[in-house]
Amino acid sequence: MPFDETNCDQVDERVEAWLDGELPAEEAARLERHADGCPRCADAMAWARTVRDELRSLPTYPAPPRVARPALAAARATASDNRRRLGRLRALAAAAVLVVLLATALLVSGLGREVPAPEVARAEAEVRLALALVGRVQRRTAAEVRREVLTGGVGDPLRAASEAMTAKGDER
Amino acid sequence: MARAWVLPVLAVAWLVAAPTSAQEPRSGSRELPPGVFDAIPQDAATVEINLSGAMLRLVAAAAEVEEPEFAALVRGLERVQVRFAEDVDPELGPTLLEGVELAAESLRRAGWTQQVSIREGSERVMVFGREEAGRLTGLTILFVEESEAGVVHLVGEVDPDRLGVLTQGLALPDLGLDVGGGSDVEPDPEDRP
């Protein structure tokens, strides 16, 4: 609910927080401005401050061991649990960071080909070998076709026809 | 009435099974008939390669940045199989020639189109293709030369132009491979290289 500083009930609800310095600065300023013009709320705020100061001025006494020991043990157990939880969280976070780093490294090595995985590098070499064999057969085939065209069954008749035409021209 | 669920279950089973059985002849047609790789006796082979989908896609991804043309060619391939023999014992020549002729015959019977045939003395070079919808989807090469022999089988979209350009400058790489060194899945006994 938005703070309405003209509503004294809402001011009452916020006095403790104001006293402990927990109100946002802008809200605290509005509350103080309201108290300047509202004696009821000014009294409530003054009373709250007095009570707090009185409580702080009370003497302190050490707690008896039968009260302190279980309380300390419970506090330590809670702290220990928190540390374990924090440790587990840290381990999980470290593992997550490690996984992300490894995945990034694998991705970079896979895409950038800096350090390809040995299996992939080997497979790549195998594909190149297969293609090289295909290429060699293609070249052999092309050479055979050229030879056939130029010197074999296709070339010889053409050459013979050309020579015959040349000879006829000479005769004329 | 209590068995009323049987018919719907059978219908669903048939619907699930039908596409699979319908696809079998199509994918099977790209595969080699049994025994083609046996043209090269296994104990004479120095290189055996059997790569399929997943590994080929990894190779394509690895080559994408530096060699996009090579990557595009490899991405179109579904399988690469090779059985290759180097420094063949001359005494093995007749066996290899016979094996290659038998393999060629079984390819013809299986509907593969022979595109090239070179017979020169004791040398043979034969190229077979498989087309689907006007596109080359399989290429098989059988060759026996003076001291080498091999069977190469490519399945997938084989672009002859791209293949020609890419293989122009390729020399045979030294793989340092052991026999039986396929990197990928274990082939079926029937179509093993």
CB atoms within 10 A of CB A96: 10
Interface ipTM above 0.85: no
In the predicted model, residues of chain B with pLDDT beneath 70 are 1-30, 167-193
Q: What are the domain boundaries of chain B?
A: 27-191
Write the pLDDT tens digit of every residue in A112-143: 444 457 888 888 888 888 888 888 887 777 77
Q: Which residues in chain B are contacts of A144 at CB distance < 8 A?
A: 118, 120, 125
pLDDT of residue A112: 47
Chain A nearest C-alpha distance from B71 (Å): 10
Q: Phi and psi for A164 in degrees, rounded to 5?
A: -65, -40
Write the pLDDT tens digit of every residue in A36-87: 999 988 988 888 888 878 777 777 666 666 667 777 777 777 777 777 777 7
Burial class (CB in 10 A: 0-12, 13-18, 19+), B140: buried
Percent of chain B with pLDDT over 70: 69
Interchain contact, B63 vs A112, CB within 8 Å: no
Token readout for B86 is 């180097």
Pairwise pLDDT comparison (A155 vs A97), residue with the higher score:
A97
Chain B nearest C-alpha distance from A152 (Å): 14
